[in-house]
Chain A
């Protein structure tokens, strides 16, 4: 899975939706997802209503609809797998179309929220609802260094590709394992430097 496929839309960030407080957006999204997952199958109106609401939010936030549709298409591996299994056993009790509708609506909700809310604002909401501080520190550090390490992996992969030519499958596994182990070593060394920097700035 490439990061660019899952990436975010970097457009103008000053729409009404962007300016809403993060707690309102997260709370609303949670309510929408909860309602969509738990709504009985015969509540057709609920699903239509949520779809219209999401379309309205998309228009207001100026997230391009095409971006949203592309992102929805990535749901397909799991959905296709389950569809295949269901095709082998047609006796499943939940209608397939219903599951598809539900997961598409929930996914669109999360994509909209994550594209209009800064991660630090989401973290401050989590802090307000008393999520343990160790988990929040870990989340913040992971978010900060996630892209750094993904870039570092790509650089190491490029370096490997430019140095190793066609070799057997065994050597390829061994080399990739070395790349991953180096990545872990570098991440740990970075963590040591970060700890020193945190202490220098008065952490704990």
Chain B
């Protein structure tokens, strides 16, 4: 998921860097305003935790393994703005110290994993929390938001690569989202398990709805949501929407329309082109909505199953001092 340098072109670098800088600026201001000084070192330690946690591999079907990305987990534990700062710190260290992810692609990576993944996931988390009260609702929310964050980040990544002309949209979209629809299930499951274990071991470490840092939420969340939607609108909508829009005409005027605009399906006959593409985009959106509903059902069952049980199966031996 870390895009290296050389995969994005100039306009994508500029656009992603501008949007991420804006989001990170908001997050820093928000954190400085509402985080008590006592919690400042928690950000650095949470970033180190996330880095270490990303190295723990989990067995996935077929002998492969996956690992936690953790944007939603940190957002549920510390709040969305803190999560954006923590993700930015992790990405900066990974980029400059370990050369994982490009320097000029840092903006794109922060947008995908921090703003779409963590802050976008936090929006989903809060919405589900508002709908389903109690611990069970929170576990469901973490699981579902974890899945959403993975898919959103993949969508953003595919859009940026397509906008740069590195990977065609249809191939990149299918490859990235289909893989992350599955990876997202693991991310959601792990995030929910870890979240519940922390909630049971040290409930005081988890941000609750009553705390000032959590309650300033909705306005901030709406802003992050709009920022993420703006980014997706810029580099995904040109490919997903069949009808011409303002961006298309701007693109044509600037002379990169041959780069940015590409029909989703090759036209069979000119007359059928627009209805055919519209139908394909509609079908994709429909399939996405059905998939999200199914995953939400799974997350709800997971929450019910985990919270009903008095003790988590196994693993309790580590909780002894």
| B27-60 residues at the A interface, CB under 8 angstroms | 28, 31-32, 37-49, 51-56, 58-59
Judge whether B226 is part of the interface by a CB distance below 8 angstroms. no
Contact with A along B178-196 (1 / 0, CB 8 A): 0000000000011001100
Q: Is the interface of A mostly helix, strand, loop or mixed?
A: helix
Judge whether B238 is part of the interface by a CB distance below 8 angstroms. no
Docked-complex contact B52 and A89, CB < 8 angstroms: no
Q: Is the interface of B mostly helix, strand, loop or mixed?
A: helix
Nearest chain-A residue to B99 (Cβ)?
A: A110
Docked-complex contact A102 and B45, CB < 8 angstroms: no
A132 vs B89: C-alpha distance when bound (angstroms): 12
Docked-complex contact A171 and B313, CB < 8 angstroms: yes
A182 vs B315: C-alpha distance when bound (angstroms): 11
Docked-complex contact B77 and A178, CB < 8 angstroms: no
By the criterion of a CB under 8 Å from any partner CB, how many residues of chain A are at the interface? 92
Residues of A within 8 A of B189 (CB): 173
| A136-185 residues at the B interface, CB under 8 angstroms | 137-146, 148-150, 152-153, 156-157, 159-160, 163-164, 167, 169-185
A178 vs B7: C-alpha distance when bound (angstroms): 38
Docked-complex contact A34 and B44, CB < 8 angstroms: no
Q: Shortest beta-carbon distance, B307 to chain A, in Å?
A: 14
Q: How many B residues are at the interface, by size bracket?
A: 35 or more
A123 vs B26: C-alpha distance when bound (angstroms): 22
Please pick, from B38, B90, B95, the residue contacting A195 in the complex, using a CB distance under 8 A: B38
Docked-complex contact B48 and A141, CB < 8 angstroms: yes
Docked-complex contact B315 and A188, CB < 8 angstroms: no
Docked-complex contact B56 and A176, CB < 8 angstroms: yes
Docked-complex contact B167 and A187, CB < 8 angstroms: no
Residues of B within 8 A of A150 (CB): 51-52, 55
Q: Shortest beta-carbon distance, A178 to chain B, in Å?
A: 4
Q: Shortest beta-carbon distance, A109 to chain B, in Å?
A: 8
Please pick, from B4, B85, B99, the residue contacting A71 in the complex, using a CB distance under 8 A: B99
Docked-complex contact A179 and B89, CB < 8 angstroms: no
A-B pairs with the 9 shortest C-beta distances? A141-B44, A102-B6, A177-B193, A106-B5, A181-B197, A178-B315, A103-B6, A89-B171, A142-B47
The contact sample of 11 A-B pairs, CB cut-off 8 A, is: A1-B55, A1-B67, A106-B5, A114-B97, A149-B45, A177-B193, A183-B52, A184-B205, A185-B202, A188-B42, A188-B205
Chain B positions within 8 Å of A, measured between CB atoms, are 2-10, 13, 24, 28, 31-32, 37-49, 51-56, 58-59, 67-68, 77, 85-86, 88-90, 92-93, 95-100, 102-104, 161, 164-168, 170-172, 175, 189-190, 193-194, 197-198, 201-202, 205, 259, 312-319
6 further contact pairs, Cβ within 8 A, besides A113-B96, A178-B312: A89-B167, A103-B4, A114-B96, A175-B318, A184-B53, A195-B37
